[in-house]
Amino acid sequence: MEVRAIAGNLAEQQVETLVVEVAEGASRLSGPAAQVDAALGGAITAMIRDGLISGRAGEVTSIAALGRVPARRVVVHGAGKAEARTIDGFRTRAGNLARALRGLDAKSVAVGLQETDSLDAETVGRALAEGFVLGLYRFDRHHTRAEDRPRGAVDAITLVEAAPRRLPALQRGVEAGTILAEATNLTRDLANEPANLMTPTIVAERAQEVAAATGLECTIIERAEAERLGMGSYLSVANGSVQPPKFIVLRYRNGGRTRPVGLIGKGITFDTGGISIKPAAGMERMKGDMTGAASVIGAMQAIARLGPAVNVLAIAPCTENMPSGSATKPGDVVYAMDGQSIEVLNTDAEGRLVLADGLAYARRENCSTLVDVATLTGAMNVALGNVRIGTFANNDRLYADLERAAAAAGERLWRMPLDAEYFDLIKSDVADIKNTGGPSAGSITAAKFLERFAHDTPWAHLDIAAVSDSTAEKGVLVKGSTGSPVRTLVHFVLGRART
């Protein structure tokens, strides 16, 4: 699916379907809607007058063009109340519209841009491209029968802007939005794939493919080298699995001699809980426990394609967490790469164990800033549900930069506390730290654990356990992996680039 932008007259476009927007309660039509209405002999005005079109947000009305315009069909899309026209609203409605067009079996579509003059053209282009590309995503490759796959496929959407002077910025936005959305969809593909088809080895292969296609450097640290590096915390999670662990390192270099930004993603390709095994019900969801890793790989694809002047190091410690005769046992003590000892009280608190060595490795590589992303704690859903990403930071400026990036991306963070007293819950009697802190403040004690491995480096931790999956099809979200926070990560890195 391709999104492009042109300047011109919507009614003249040689496509199958034209889309015009009508606001709720609009007394008269303007812009492309008025032009198309005139070409159709006032059909849209008549349908509004007769109560057949209300303009309510998301309303979709299909009208036969009867040869009055080159297109075969006109879709009138409800834009909602005029005052609700925000960038986030554009992105959301674009997602819903794209799926409605696919349901109508539309192949080539031209959308008239209406009343966007007060908004920055680049931002509008980006939001619309994101909405279309994200909204049309689906994961259906394992349905072998065509009738089990939703029908329809939109091939191309053209944004038609009446004012030629706004076109260059609009096109820049469409290009960036497409890159951001395709990176998010890459993350979704990796995360949606079942664990037998997305082993650490396969994640590493996919990372290498992304690197080869975009000019990133990719190194895979194998078990033997991880042992030499002293990654005893990460490797303790891999002990129970027959799948070889893969510690993925992706490098983007375009920042001269500046220190790299470090992005670290939890890569548990399946989390059974290990010896502290999880209940059977819902365990299949744990195929998505590598979404942090998938997020940093997706973000790196977009960063490489956008080309900012910055150095970035992405790290994805990948392994399965399995019970077996060789698995780590509750009470075992392991040593992370930075020398700290950890008492493993619960083998199901494995994410922090792989991240400890991910953070240590990023520090050894002299990263200026560390941002980790992890499906870390079920408690996150209790605290914030699936609306905001629980975000911890040991540095106010870093948190402010992330919040700005999230706002640009249309994603939402919420800052969580790191008071010193929470650390008392993870003091161990036998080692420097223990990997669980009991039933209270589960997301915070997990973050306090990670904070110890960031030491004095500015660090933030995004616990995406509650936002990584969607059960609804709404706006940019479809069922399955959300791909959040790929776009926030990319905007954050862009903000760190030399301009």
| Residues with catalytic function | 278, 352
- At 480, list the tokens: 């399955």
Site for Zn ion in 351-390 (CB under 5 A): 351
Q: Rounded distance, CA 392 to CA 448, Å?
A: 9
List 161, 289, 343, 469, residue binding Zn ion (CB under 5 A): 289
Alpha carbons 418 and 433: distance in angstroms, whole number? 16
Q: Which stretch binds Mn ion (CB under 5 A): 208-216, 270-278, 378-386, 445-453?
A: 270-278
**312 pairs with which residues across the strands?**
252, 261
Q: Residue 435 CB, nearest distance to ligand BES (Å)?
A: 8
Beta-bridge mates of residue 374: 463
CB of 321 to Mn ion, least distance (A): 6
Instruction: Verify binding: residue 271, Mn ion, rule CB under 5 A.
Output: yes
If one counts every other C-beta atom within 10 angstroms of the C-beta of residue 134, the result is 27
Decide if 5 contacts 159 (C-beta within 8 A).
yes
CB of 369 to ligand BES, least distance (A): 25
**Which structure tokens are listed for 152?**
């329809």
- E strands present in 193-287: 217-221, 246-253, 261-265, 267-271
- Which residues, in sequence order, are bridge partners of residue 218? 250
Query: Strand (E) positions, 304-383?
Result: 311-321, 332-335, 341-344, 369-374
Residue 346 touches which of Zn ion, Mn ion, ligand BES, none (Cβ within 5-8 Å per kind): ligand BES
Residue 21 binding Mn ion, by CB under 5 A: no
Residues in binding contact with Zn ion, number by CB under 5 A: 4
Q: Write out the two tokens for 173.
A: 């936005």
Whose tokens are 């006109």? That residue is 74
Pick between residue 131 and residue 267 the one whose CB is nearest to ligand BES.
267
| Among 66-74, 199-207, 348-356, 446-454, the segment contacting Zn ion (CB under 5 A) | 348-356
- Closest to Mn ion by CB, 240 or 260: 240
| Residue closer to ligand BES, measured from CB, 330 or 495 | 330
Chosen from Zn ion, Mn ion, ligand BES, none, partner binding at 379 (C-beta under 5 to 8 Å by type): ligand BES
- Please say whether the dihedral angle defined by the alpha carbons of residues 433, 435, 437 and 440, taken in this order, is positive or negative: positive
φ, ψ of residue 88 to 5 degrees: the values are -65, -35
- Binding residue (CB under 5 A) for Mn ion from 348, 357, 411, 451: 348
**129 neighbors 111 (Cβ within 8 angstroms):** no
Least distance CB 349 / ligand BES (angstroms)? 4
Q: How many whole angstroms separate alpha carbon 461 and alpha carbon 445?
A: 12
Q: Which is nearer to Mn ion, 184 or 436 (CB)?
A: 436
**Least distance in Å: CB of 77 to ligand BES?**
35
Using CB under 5 A as the binding rule, whether residue 463 contacts Mn ion is answered as no
Q: CB 352 → Zn ion: shortest distance, Å?
A: 9
In the complex, the residues that contact Zn ion under the rule CB under 5 A are: 268, 271, 289, 351
In the complex, the residues that contact Mn ion under the rule CB under 5 A are: 271, 348, 350
